[in-house]
């Protein structure tokens, strides 16, 4: 199985690139942000809870997020592999994912981390906020909080995969196609089963 963690700060381009990678490598795309947004739209209990955190740019609690992710993996038992987009975002989440995948006799193949400057992230998110309707893109204060949450709680997740020799930093500046080529090369060169 090819299991990729697509990593990076908010607005780094994870969702944009994941959509292209799933097509090329025939993987299932699991974006925790997208799943939360679908639940918010459907006004489910999970959606109402998630919204209260997401609108302020905070992380949804681990317990809820991990359970949700595991149930999404279980729904796709015939998948050839997964792109985890926006998950794991805390050390707890990475540990839980490792144990969960071990139970299925598989593991993460590689973490691809998109590297983008803070100035560019803010520019991209404010631009998207003009038409996305996403409350968390709408003002600079919330965007700053998301970046600060990333620096405090999420950036450390890279160490977890670095220690396993599975971490690849990818320059996230350039055209969508250029970045896609860099990601594809990293996958092809990382000695992972496709």
| Active-site amino acid positions | 14, 89, 128, 134, 146
33 binds ligand B4P (CB under 6 A): yes
Nearest to 99 by CA among 119, 69, 124: 69
73 binds ligand B4P (CB under 6 A): no
Residue 7 to residue 191: CA distance in whole angstroms: 19
- Of 4-12, 40-48, 71-79, 156-164, the segment contacting ligand B4P by CB under 6 A is 4-12
- Of 6-14, 20-28, 38-46, 163-171, the segment contacting ligand B4P by CB under 6 A is 6-14
Nearest to 94 by CA among 102, 128, 117: 102
**For residue 115, how many C-alpha atoms fall within 13 Å in the half-sphere facing its CB?**
7
182 binds ligand B4P (CB under 6 A): no
Of 78 and 130, CB closest to ligand B4P: 130
At its nearest, how many Å lie between ligand B4P and the CB of residue 151?
Answer: 13
**Distance from first CA to last CA of the chain, Å, rounded?**
7
DSSP element (H, E) containing 7: strand 2-7
39 binds ligand B4P (CB under 6 A): no
Residue at token pair 């799943």? 35
Total residue length of the chain = 194
At its nearest, how many Å lie between ligand B4P and the CB of residue 152?
Answer: 13
14 binds ligand B4P (CB under 6 A): yes
């Amino acid at each position: 199985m090819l299991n990729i963690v697509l990593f990076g700060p908010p607005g780094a381009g994870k969702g944009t690139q994941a959509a292209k990678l799933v097509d090329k490598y025939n993987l299932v795309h699991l974006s925790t942000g997208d799943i939360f947004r679908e639940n918010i739209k459907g006004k489910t209990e999970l959606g109402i809870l998630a919204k209260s955190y997401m609108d302020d740019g905070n992380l949804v609690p681990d317990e809820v997020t991990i359970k949700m992710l595991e149930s999404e993996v279980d729904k796709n038992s015939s998948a050839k592999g997964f792109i985890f987009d926006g998950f794991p975002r805390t050390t707890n989440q990475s540990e839980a994912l490792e144990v969960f995948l071990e139970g299925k006799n598989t593991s993460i193949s590689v973490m691809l981390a998109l590297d983008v400057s803070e100035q560019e992230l803010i520019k991209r998110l404010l631009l998207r906020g003009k038409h996305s309707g996403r409350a968390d893109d709408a003002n600079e204060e919330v965007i700053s909080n998301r970046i600060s949450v990333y620096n405090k709680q999420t950036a450390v997740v890279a160490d977890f995969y670095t220690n396993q020799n599975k971490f690849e930093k990818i320059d996230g500046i350039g055209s969508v196609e250029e970045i896609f080529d860099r990601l594809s090369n990293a996958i092809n060169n990382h000695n992972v089963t496709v």
